[in-house]
Amino acid sequence: MNQSKSTLFSEHSATKQSHLIQYNEHTMSPALVAVGYADAARRLRASYRAQPWDDVMLLPFMFVWRQAIELALKTNITDLAALRRQGGDVDPKVDRLAVEKRLRSPKQSGHNLERLIAELEEHIQMLHLQAIPEQILETLKLLAALDNGGTGFRYAGVLNVSSADINFDTIGVALDEAFTLLEVIVDAATNGQGVSWA
């Protein structure tokens, strides 16, 4: 008899359309997961009521934005490296396996936003694309400076700032604008055609 192992998902199987949410690893991509994180951050922002208890959502809010931005950076790097290869670039740094290894390795790019931003800028320059607007670049760099290890928003007391009074609205707008720009880089580079993987 072939019984599948129980999981938290299987123990909470949907029985009605009204409470259904689906997970399928074959339809998920880093870009879609980034969109999910961004959507979660936007929903958190919409729930803000300027009450003292709202303070507890700051780190989760920053965490999901950071995850969305990290995944968007990695997606762009992967796609722009592919565009460079398709254009005939034979630099070993843009080899598909080298890019994948670099983006997964904690010792190389991994979760380091500063390195990811620098690599994205290099690809943009090599492809002669429009530079990231200075205001967006500043937001990305300031986000990276808060959390250089990639875990700062997951735990208390790990950020590079011990306390701050933050304008929740403006920080939310800045992060949303940065993510939105990252979402359109490849479309702008390919006139909306995307990157073929043949």
| DSSP 3-state of 147 | coil
Check the CA dihedral 114-120-122-124 and report its sign: negative
Q: Which residues contact 97 (CB under 8 A, 6 or more apart)?
A: none
Length of the chain: 198
Q: Model confidence over 88-142: pLDDT tens digits?
A: 999 999 999 999 999 998 888 888 999 999 999 999 999 999 999 999 999 999 9
CA distance 43 to 172: 11
3-state helix, strand, coil split of the chain in percent (to 5) is: 60, 0, 40
pTM of the model: 0.91
**Higher pLDDT pick, 78 / 198:** 78
Q: Which two tokens stand for residue 98?
A: 């080298």
